[in-house]
Homo-oligomer: A and B are copies of this chain.
Amino acid sequence: QAIRFYYLYNHWAIRVAIYFFIFLNLSLALFEEPAVYPLPFLATSLIEVLCLCAFFGRLVQFAKVTPRTVFWKDTKNICVMLTILLTLLDLIIYGSLRVFNIHSVRWSRFLRPLFLINFPESRQIRRVFRSIRNTLPEVLYVFLLLMFNVLMFSLMALKLFGDRNLKTVEGSSYFTNLLDIMFDLYVLVTTANSPDVMMPAYNLDWRYSLFFITYIVINTYIFMSVFLAVVYNNYRKHLKNEVRKLAYMKRHKMIEAFNILKTKEGTEFVVKEAQWKQLVKIVAPDISNSHRELLLRISDEEQKGYVDKKCFLRLADLLNIQVITIKFKRHPLEIWMPHVYKSSGSLFVQKVVQHRVFVWIYDVIIIINAVFIALDEKNPLISYAEWVFLSLYIIEILLKLYTYEPKTFFARNQFWNWFDSLIIIAALMATIANAAIKSVIEYNSQQILDIVFVLRLLRLIRIVDSIQRFRVIMTTLINIIPTMLTFGGLVLVVYYMFAIIGMELFQDKVLFFSESSTDPHALDCGNPALEDSTFARSRYCKNNFNDLASSFIVLMELTVVNQWHDILSAAKLFFIAFHIVVVILIVNIFVAFILEAFFVEYSLEKSEIETTIEKKIQELGMGIQEENIPDGQLIDNMETNENDLSGGEEMQRQSSEGLFFRIASKRYRTVDALLQQMFESEISPEDEGPSLDEILNLSPSDMHPKNPTFENSA
């Protein structure tokens, strides 16, 4: 029953539900005051209670599948429980005060992202947070040094320019107050007020520009790079450490499993073949019989009927390598109506589609399409041409589906096929929807038209994949996407917290009036203090904290840094805090992450174990008579079509069994996996891992690594 409970706990539907509730809970801020779409307090509070119940239920479920001591030691469970309690408390207080018409602050909203961080599924986000926490001390020292520097330069500026009676463009006095100077120079570090802050002094004497140039070189260029270096170095160190921990844990668990299953055979302990097979079946139910057979052959090199300890310990790694078993699948059409599909006309079509020229023709079509898009839409001839292009693309996909086996065409690693098809189908649907709406209300829906435009342009991206040099870059970028989502989560958490604080602090301080408004306050954004300021003159009134969407956009603008001193100069501390957290820490981690991804892509070679498997596949392939089956063409062509020159793909046909084995190429593997592989290769295979002490010291969040083997063998 415990196992059934465990499976229920791990059921995908429940996980999805929890994520749904987390995002529902987060999105409540959209409907609460200050709201984008206002809902009554009763509705939002009911939804919030519902979410809290869901979180509590999940926690109870987790408690049932975890030993009690482990559960209560885990800070994240306690954190979730506390957050639930505090949120309930806040709801009750706020609700009861509301009954008496007393307005109070919903402070617990600030805690909502904690649910996202602390649920076991968001391990990645926690990892980044831990990485940030470990980086903090070092970043702090560099930051202190930077602030010392800013202070020194500010004192210098005060002495040099304070007594000159200079005026800024806005007419206020220039560099007379130490705190203002420090803020101005801090902003200069971010380059946001770059020439402006210098101009009054420069206009006086060109030699004073040397002061600012020195400052920029030291603080903007050198110190910002030092921040990147520190963050990057720590990110790497931390990542390496975590991966090493995981690898040791895995090995430890594998040894445990071995000790349970072992039987004595001669002088050494081994695991019998039957038990080994059973284990693999339980651990990895998805893999095919032939794949399992392949793994056995690798583990039991000499076919002695058992697997020794060293080979057994490698099992987890073996299972982690994606060996794609490709079954010979005949095209469904070939099965249903073989005569038609195998007719000469049909074969000719297939040959044409498989030919390189077919790809080139469509590249030309895409370019022509791009030119048409750039031309004026008003001409009816051109808007009809759009239909022609759409149908051409649809024909392309249908032809390809006719030629290639659909499941192969939509295999998991065929990114561009998926991309193409989704874009085209979406464009088709949007165009039809637009036509339908037009015929009913005789008017184009602007939203749908916008979507159609965007989809049309996205189609053009495919041409990038035709050029080899671009593919490498694109592949890395595509590989980065999954981990980028982690950063998305991280940024969401930080933005959400800052947005909630910002909304409480600055709500309705700045109002937006539409273009046509005749309100006298339209010129000062509804705030007399802003009259005639750069902020109002640049029409930044919509950059405010009046609802969640606006807050997020303002925070995004602050992340980009430019003009941020203008956006809200009144709240200097808020913005400096935001700058330190987001720009110095998170953006640098993001940059570090992209750098690392590219370096891995540039440097990684095949791992030792992969080579072993490949050799084995080749050996087995060599032992079997090869036949030339026309369907083999399909895979070959797909390969050619992919133009993969990385040499990372090895393919061997086991024709008699109608099977292909293939090691998934480096393309389309996540950077995380590549990194883990890189670091794991540094641990020697003989290393039995750390002592039990160290494993006990590992934080519980590490108890569920990605590796399926270990999770089940435990």
| Chain B residue with Cβ nearest A214 | B454
Shortest Cβ distance from residue A114 to the other chain B in the assembled complex, whole angstroms: 25
CB atoms of A156 and B594 under 8 A apart? no
Instruction: Tell me if A65 counts as interface (CB < 8 A to partner B).
Output: no
CB atoms of B539 and A203 under 8 A apart? yes
Instruction: Tell me if A563 counts as interface (CB < 8 A to partner B).
Output: yes
Shortest Cβ distance from residue A361 to the other chain B in the assembled complex, whole angstroms: 20
| Chain B residue with Cβ nearest A452 | B159
| Chain B residue with Cβ nearest A468 | B141
Which of A219-227, A351-359, A692-700 touches B? Answer: A219-227
Which residues from chain B contact A598 at a C-beta distance below 8 Å? 226, 229-230, 233
Assuming A591-B225, A591-B228, A598-B233, is B453 touching A160 (CB within 8 A)? yes
Instruction: Tell me if A443 counts as interface (CB < 8 A to partner B).
Output: no
Which residues from chain B contact A195 at a C-beta distance below 8 Å? 538, 540, 543, 557, 560, 562-563, 567
CB atoms of B145 and A464 under 8 A apart? yes
Q: How far does the alpha carbon of A213 sit from the alpha carbon of B229 in the complex, in Å?
A: 26
Which residues from chain B contact A543 at a C-beta distance below 8 Å? 195
CB atoms of A561 and B226 under 8 A apart? no
Shortest Cβ distance from residue A586 to the other chain B in the assembled complex, whole angstroms: 11
Q: How far does the alpha carbon of A314 sit from the alpha carbon of B192 in the complex, in Å?
A: 53
Shortest Cβ distance from residue A319 to the other chain B in the assembled complex, whole angstroms: 32
CB atoms of A560 and B469 under 8 A apart? no
Which residues from chain B contact A155 at a C-beta distance below 8 Å? 370, 373-374, 457
C-beta contact mask, A208-221 vs B, less than 8 Å → 1, else 0?
A: 01000100100011
Q: How far does the alpha carbon of A230 sit from the alpha carbon of B597 in the complex, in Å?
A: 11
Shortest Cβ distance from residue A693 to the other chain B in the assembled complex, whole angstroms: 27
| Chain B residue with Cβ nearest A140 | B469
Instruction: Tell me if A328 counts as interface (CB < 8 A to partner B).
Output: no
Which of A500-508, A548-556, A664-672 touches B? Answer: A548-556
Instruction: Tell me if A417 counts as interface (CB < 8 A to partner B).
Output: no
Which residues from chain B contact A557 at a C-beta distance below 8 Å? 194-195, 198
Instruction: Tell me if A71 counts as interface (CB < 8 A to partner B).
Output: no
Instruction: Tell me if A604 counts as interface (CB < 8 A to partner B).
Output: no
C-beta contact mask, A129-141 vs B, less than 8 Å → 1, else 0?
A: 0000000000001
CB atoms of B473 and A199 under 8 A apart? no
Shortest Cβ distance from residue A625 to the other chain B in the assembled complex, whole angstroms: 44
CB atoms of B191 and A560 under 8 A apart? yes
CB atoms of B169 and A537 under 8 A apart? yes
Instruction: Tell me if A542 counts as interface (CB < 8 A to partner B).
Output: yes
CB atoms of B141 and A461 under 8 A apart? no
Which residues from chain B contact A196 at a C-beta distance below 8 Å? 538, 563
CB atoms of B542 and A199 under 8 A apart? yes
Q: How far does the alpha carbon of A233 sit from the alpha carbon of B602 in the complex, in Å?
A: 8
Which residues from chain B contact A540 at a C-beta distance below 8 Å? 195, 199
CB atoms of A595 and B232 under 8 A apart? yes
CB atoms of B473 and A141 under 8 A apart? yes
CB atoms of B464 and A222 under 8 A apart? no
CB atoms of A203 and B542 under 8 A apart? yes
Instruction: Tell me if A470 counts as interface (CB < 8 A to partner B).
Output: yes
| Chain B residue with Cβ nearest A488 | B217
Which residues from chain B contact A222 at a C-beta distance below 8 Å? 477, 480, 594
Assuming A473-B145, A556-B213, is B562 touching A206 (CB within 8 A)? no
Which residues from chain B contact A169 at a C-beta distance below 8 Å? 537-539
Shortest Cβ distance from residue A523 to the other chain B in the assembled complex, whole angstroms: 13
Instruction: Tell me if A709 counts as interface (CB < 8 A to partner B).
Output: no
Shortest Cβ distance from residue A386 to the other chain B in the assembled complex, whole angstroms: 12
Shortest Cβ distance from residue A226 to the other chain B in the assembled complex, whole angstroms: 7
CB atoms of B542 and A202 under 8 A apart? yes
CB atoms of A560 and B220 under 8 A apart? yes
Q: How far does the alpha carbon of A429 sit from the alpha carbon of B175 in the complex, in Å?
A: 28
For A191, A213, A470, the residue with the greatest tally of chain B CB atoms inside 10 Å of its CB is A191
Instruction: Tell me if A384 counts as interface (CB < 8 A to partner B).
Output: no
| Chain B residue with Cβ nearest A373 | B155
CB atoms of A209 and B553 under 8 A apart? yes
CB atoms of B464 and A178 under 8 A apart? no
CB atoms of B595 and A229 under 8 A apart? yes
Q: How far does the alpha carbon of A640 sit from the alpha carbon of B159 in the complex, in Å?
A: 36
Which residues from chain B contact A213 at a C-beta distance below 8 Å? 553, 556
Which residues from chain B contact A409 at a C-beta distance below 8 Å? none
| Chain B residue with Cβ nearest A204 | B515
Q: Which 4 A-B pairs have the closest CB atoms?
A: A194-B562, A229-B598, A225-B594, A159-B453
Can you give 20 contacting A-B residue pairs, CB < 8 Å?
A: A145-B470, A145-B474, A148-B464, A159-B457, A160-B454, A169-B538, A192-B562, A194-B557, A194-B561, A195-B538, A199-B539, A203-B541, A206-B542, A206-B550, A220-B560, A225-B591, A226-B594, A229-B594, A229-B597, A562-B562
